[in-house]
């Protein structure tokens, strides 16, 4: 998370437990992919915990660059593809599935574009804005043509919109919660937006466990 290594690792352990419980509940392949999502978030938060340690402990310094790139890979390239893929496989209705397939296609191209930006222009992380022993993690990435704000909006299409298209119980509530977290993070933590929003979205993964249980009960 944006505040400390302790916060990141605590979130990571919590998410891992949620993910394991969800995977245990899942009986079908598509449900299992959804249930696996908190485990990916757990790895993402753990990578940020490692990144915090790399700035404060010399022994961890060699892991700074790998941890930065892994976090950004998950945040910017993985979720825009994984979310529409998972919801498409879960979707029972033809119309919604067609829309989700289009969002999946868009998400795949967006993810490749993000990978291109990270790979071609590089990325870095730094600890900034320290006040009263509370600091924030800032990620610097280069987007061609000064279209960072546009990319932030386009990110919502594959990463958030599928929740509102899905007919699965609970998905729209999850989408609304993630959207609210996205908005709050952008309004109040704009400089450190990526780190803060990913933390909020990861914590909301608890709702995934509830959805998985509901799906399996319905079946």
- CATH number of residue 132's parent domain: 1.20.1070
Domains in the chain: how many in total? 1
Would you say residue 75 has pLDDT above 60? yes
In this prediction, residue 173 carries a pLDDT of 93
Phi, psi angle pair for 208, to nearest 5°: -60, -40
> pLDDT tens digits, residue range 110-143?
999 999 999 998 898 888 766 555 667 788 888 8
Q: How long is the chain?
A: 219
Report the distance separating Cα 51 and Cα 39, nearest Å.
18
In this prediction, residue 132 carries a pLDDT of 52
Would you say residue 64 has pLDDT above 50? yes
Is pTM, for the whole model, over 0.75? yes
- Residue owning tokens 């279209």: 147
Both tokens assigned to 36: 């696996």
Q: What is the mean pLDDT of residues 68-87?
A: 95
Q: What is the mean pLDDT of residues 53-64?
A: 91
Structural domain containing residue 135:
5-218
């Amino acid at each position: 998370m944006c505040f400390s290594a302790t916060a990141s690792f605590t979130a990571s352990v919590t998410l891992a437990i949620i993910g394991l419980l969800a995977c245990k509940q899942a009986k079908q392949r598509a449900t299992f992919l959804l249930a696996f999502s908190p485990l990916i978030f757990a790895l993402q938060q753990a990578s940020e915990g490692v990144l915090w340690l790399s700035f404060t402990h010399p022994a961890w310094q060699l892991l700074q660059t790998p941890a930065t790139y892994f976090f950004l890979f998950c945040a910017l390239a993985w979720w825009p593809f994984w979310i529409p893929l998972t919801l498409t496989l879960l979707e029972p209705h033809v119309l919604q599935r067609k829309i989700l397939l289009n969002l999946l296609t868009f998400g795949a191209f967006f993810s490749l574009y993000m990978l291109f930006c990270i790979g071609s222009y590089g990325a870095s992380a730094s600890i900034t804005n320290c006040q009263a022993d509370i600091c924030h993690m800032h990620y610097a990435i280069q987007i061609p043509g000064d279209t960072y704000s546009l990319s932030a909006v386009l990110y919502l299409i594959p990463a958030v919109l599928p929740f509102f298209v899905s007919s699965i119980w609970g998905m729209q509530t999850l989408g609304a919660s993630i959207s609210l977290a996205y908005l709050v993070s952008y309004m109040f933590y704009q400089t450190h937006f990526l780190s803060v929003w990913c933390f909020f979205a990861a914590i909301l993964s608890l709702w995934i466990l509830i959805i998985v249980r509901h799906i399996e009960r319905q079946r």
